[in-house]
Structure 1
Amino acid sequence: MYTDGACSGNPGPGGYGVVLLYKGHRKELSQGYKNTTNNRMEMMAVIKGLEAVKEPCAVDVYSDSKYLVDSINKGWAARWRDNNWMRNKKEKALNVDLWGKLLSLLDKYQVSFYWVKGHAEIEENERCDFLATEALKNSDLLEDTQPT
């Protein structure tokens, strides 16, 4: 699974793009939102991609978001959840609605996250960027329920 999020302004209109590849099959997903952030769209891409997976399986997620990849791989997001969504004793974690959804989905699958450099001519990452950017331009933008 390749994922990307985009935002025009931060916050502003945003979108996500997903390319799912499995045994010669390909599925692309995208959607735009009226008022959101880039980080939320990066996370939404993975959530929507995992929600589209039909059966429990191993999933490799490729993202150009260090925020997303590091938050999962370094255990930050799980630690925030375990600490009642606090990053430390004084700072609340952001995007807790999406982190909660994502962490729940990760329990269903064997997911490995890999960071890829954005705009580095990685074909599927470039395609996700295109899908996300086009999605934020559409007229059917959804409301982001909890933009931060």
Structure 2
Amino acid sequence: MSDKPEVIVYTDGACSGNPGPGGWGAVLIWNGKEKELMGGEPQTTNNRMEMQAVIEALRALKKPCKVIIHSDSALIINAFTKGWIESWQKRGWRKSNKKPVENKELWQHMLQAMDPHDVEWVKVKGHAGIELNERVDRLAVTASKKY
């Protein structure tokens, strides 16, 4: 049992065109309180926005926490639950096909943001009526429209 506070996080990214204007959204839940975060970029990709949502959610935490991150991004979930990220690093940020890992700098930012925390990953099905996942999707889409 961790003595760190437990924070539930839902994240999502959105992109209008891929690449195109994009947005990310996150909801952090701790001790019955909720915090919404959102942002975006004028020229980006969906994967970058999915990753940015996780990074910003982790950066928002003021002290080390047990963080349960819910995402509908198979890429992010698989990178951490299937050991892809360790394999990429061992190969000098190359995939098994020897090609460079896309968005290496964001993966590095994510690892850095994760460092003080105990992170658990939960895959959620996108657009399946899961209330908090739908909410972060709306935040991401709203943010993307500002660009």
Question: Is TM-score (shorter-chain normalized) higher than 0.5?
Answer: yes
Residues 57-96 of structure 1, C-alpha deviations (whole Å, 9 max, x = no match):
1000000010110011111122212221111362111110
CA distance in 2, matches of 1:78, 1:46: 18
Pairing 1:57–2:39 present? no
Which residue of 71, 76, 95 corresponds with 1:87?
A: 95
Identity of aligned residues (%): 50
**Mapping 1:103-114, distance limit 5 Å:** 103-114=111-122
The secondary structure found in structure 2 opposite 1:32 is strand
Aligned to 1:28: 36
Deviation at 1:107, TM superposition (A): 1.9
- Describe the SS at the equivalent of 2:77: helix
**In the aligned structure 2, how far is the partner of 1:119 from the partner of 1:23?**
27
Structure 1 gaps of 5+ residues are 142-148
Quick check: 1:20–1:49 contact (8 Å CA) kept in 2?
yes
Is the counterpart of residue 133 in structure 1 residue 141 in structure 2? yes
**Residue equivalent to 2:16:** 8
Aligned partner of 2:77 in structure 1 is 69
TM-score between both structures, scaled by the size of structure 2: 0.91
CA–CA distance in 2 between the matches of 1:89 and 1:60? 31
Alpha carbons 1:81, 1:100 under 8 Å: kept: no
Structure 2 Cα separation of the partners of residues 9 and 113 of structure 1 = 27
Q: Say yes or no: does 1:122 pair with 2:130.
A: yes
| Structure-1 separation of matches of 2:28 and 2:103 | 24
**How far apart are 1:55 and its partner, in Å?**
0.9
Q: CA RMSD in A?
A: 1.0
What's 2:5 paired with? none
Runs ≥4 residues deviating over 6 A: none
Q: Which runs of 5+ in 2 are unaligned?
A: 1-8
1:47 to 26, 36, 55: 55
| Count of residues in correspondence between the two structures | 139
